[in-house]
């Protein structure tokens, strides 16, 4: 199983931010489809095929990039709680 960091380059090439597009929200390069929209669809249980059908401007690599982004974000953003000392 490869780590999310192996997909870092993949999602950085496919997900972009531009203040002139969708108010600067992350979108998939060459589209106006937001990262948030794809992640919400995945969270709702939509398959990659359903997402690609709903957003024909996306490619399968875009959906994979969204998953890689979420995995990398989870590694960075979820703190590990401190373990209380054993008494």
Is the predicted pLDDT of residue 3 greater than 60, yes or no?
Answer: no
Percent of the chain scoring above 70 in pLDDT: 86
State the pLDDT at residue 9: 65
What distance in Å separates the CA atoms of residue 8 and residue 51, rounded to the nearest whole number?
Answer: 22
Residue-wise pLDDT for 12-50, tens only, equals 899 999 999 999 999 999 999 999 999 999 999 999 999
Q: Crossing angle for the helix pair 60-77 and 35-43, nearest 10 degrees?
A: 80
Whether the pTM exceeds 0.85: the reply is no
| Between residues 16 and 76, the one the model is more confident about | 16
What distance in Å separates the CA atoms of residue 67 and residue 14, rounded to the nearest whole number?
Answer: 12
List the CATH code of the domain at 4-75: 1.10.10.10
Is the predicted pLDDT of residue 4 greater than 50, yes or no?
Answer: no
């Amino acid at each position: 199983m490869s780590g999310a960091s192996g997909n870092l380059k993949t999602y950085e090439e496919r997900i972009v931010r531009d203040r002139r597009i969708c108010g600067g929200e992350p979108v998939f390069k060459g589209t106006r489809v937001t990262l948030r929209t794809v992640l919400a669809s995945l969270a709702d249980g939509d398959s990659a095929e359903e997402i690609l059908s709903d957003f024909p401007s996306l490619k399968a690599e875009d959906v994979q990039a969204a998953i890689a982004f979420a995995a990398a974000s989870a590694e960075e953003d979820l703190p590990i709680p401190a373990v209380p000392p054993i008494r």
